[in-house]
Amino acid sequence: MSATDVITPSRLKPMPVSQPVELSPKPSLIGMTREEMGAALKEKGVADKQIKMRVSQLWNWIYVRGVSDFDAMANVSKDMREMLKAHFTIARPEIVEEQVSNDGTRKWLLRFPPRGAGRPVEIEAVYIPEEGRGTLCISSQVGCSLTCSFCHTGTQRLVRNLTAEEILSQLLLARDRLGDFPDREAPQGTIMPAEGRKVSNIVMMGMGEPLYNFDSVKTALLIASDGDGLSLSKRRITLSTSGVVPEIYRTGEEIGVMLAISLHAVRDDLRDMLVPINKKYPLKELMDACRAYPGLSNARRITFEYVMLKGVNDSLEDAKGLIQLLKGIPAKINLIPFNPWPGTNYQCSDWEHIEKFADFINSAGYASPIRTPRGRDILAACGQLKSESERMRKTERLAFEAMMIANHGED
């Protein structure tokens, strides 16, 4: 695709929440690599000499213009569109629920059709608007096989991995809903400017452990960063892992996005309890993998996430241990006030205490922003995502929301 025009995104317009889609056995073109898409077209009889051109056309319609209907592809012949409709889909997942927090955070509960003999599954994606940027938090699995003791998602067993299509669909759907695709009338060859997008950043920090779904996450992120399509810079994509060490090496070599590590403790005995994968890949191995992450510099640091749990991991001894542990790694420490959820025994450290902890780390030369909780009122904050059958009933949710407001004010 050649970039001829740069246009601004269409304005945010209200759109009806999508209707349940018919369960379709047709494969989706979303999430296929160019090679896979070419092979799929060839199998349906598209001539060899046309394949490259057809793939570029489809790529542009799907990822630059964000169409979800083959009939919108104006420069594709009617016959070709009929063939595509007969064999493939580019439909979005069903929106089961869309909630908007009082701080502007949006959460979508999305339903994907069954794969093979399975059942439909539901996951959550969250959009967090901030000054000058907007971040979409994407899920990689339905539930999680790990059981970090402070995480709500960890109480939901793993149902299945998401496919590359389902991972990318969260981004496409968010951009649809936020009016972040160019107007359909824009000329062919249009690209979206990197500036001014509603979704300027993505983080793999939703439900699931992305590195336990490596292949699909890799395919999805390479498509999201493809310069002729969604065009998100790899510096604006962050993958967060609880510490699956072998796949951290592969992430550096094969994906090349920014890395975040859910650290949460600086001693193996405590981390074994909070982040049980530590028993398999203890701190020493985790830190070695971080040190070896390619391309690290002061401008390209690893983010270490550290949830602040009152009386558990928040002493000044812990802060000292943290500085010790990260020595020599270009690092930023993201302090996350613990977000409570129904049934948890943990409490969030007091605010002044978190600030003291942050100051201590700061004075050792590390940036240590405190992550402002966003969307807590709609259970959209870190570690609060959970879906499907175990979703809270409305009455339970109202009681929980009242408790949150009483404890935290309307943050």
Which parts are annotated binding residues? 144, 148, 151, 208-209, 240, 262-264, 339
Segment interacting with ligand SAH (CB under 6 A) among 37-45, 101-109, 221-229, 332-340: 332-340
Q: Encode burial over 265-303: b for 16+ CB neighbours within 10 A, e otherwise.
A: bbeeebbbbbbebbeebebeebbebbeebeebeeeebbb
The strands making up 94-100's β-sheet, listed across from edge to edge, are 94-100, 106-112, 121-130, 133-137, 201-204, 237-241, 258-262, 302-308, 331-337
Under rule CB under 6 A, which residues in 213-242 are in contact with ligand SF4?
242
Strands in 131-200 per DSSP E:
133-137, 141-142, 160-161
305 interacts with, out of ligand SF4, ligand SAH, none, CB within 5 to 8 A per kind: ligand SAH
- Residue 113: DSSP 8-state: -
243 binds ligand SF4 (CB under 6 A): no
- Catalytic residues, which ones? 124, 382
Q: Which does 382 bind (CB under 5 to 8 A by kind): ligand SAH, ligand SF4, none?
A: ligand SAH
Determine, following the binding rule CB under 6 A, whether residue 201 of this chain makes contact with ligand SF4.
Answer: no
Identify the sign of the CA torsion 323, 326, 330, 332.
Answer: negative
CA atoms within 13 A on the CB side of 325: 23
Sign for the pseudo-dihedral over CA of 278, 280, 283, 288 = negative
Nearer to ligand SF4, 55 or 309 (CB): 309
According to the binding rule CB under 6 A, does residue 154 interact with ligand SF4? yes
Give least dist CB 383 to ligand SAH, A.
Answer: 2
Which single residue brings its beta carbon nearest to ligand SF4?
Answer: 154
Name the β-bridge partners of 100.
106
Angle at 12 between CA 9 and CA 15, to 5 degrees: 120
Pairing state of beta strands 302-308 and 331-337? parallel
* Separation CA 17–CA 248 (nearest Å): 38
Taking the complex as a whole, the smallest distance from the CB of residue 63 to ligand SAH amounts, in Å, to 25
Among 60, 105, 241, 368, binds ligand SAH (CB under 6 A): 241
Per-residue x/- mask for ligand SAH, residues 194 to 233, rule CB under 6 A?
-----------x--xx------------------------
144 binds ligand SF4 (CB under 6 A): yes
- Tokens of residue 60, six digits: 């542009």
Binding site for ligand SF4 (CB under 6 A): 144, 146-148, 151, 153-154, 208-209, 242, 262
Binding site for ligand SAH (CB under 6 A): 148, 150-152, 205, 208-209, 240-242, 262, 305, 307, 336, 338-339, 382-383
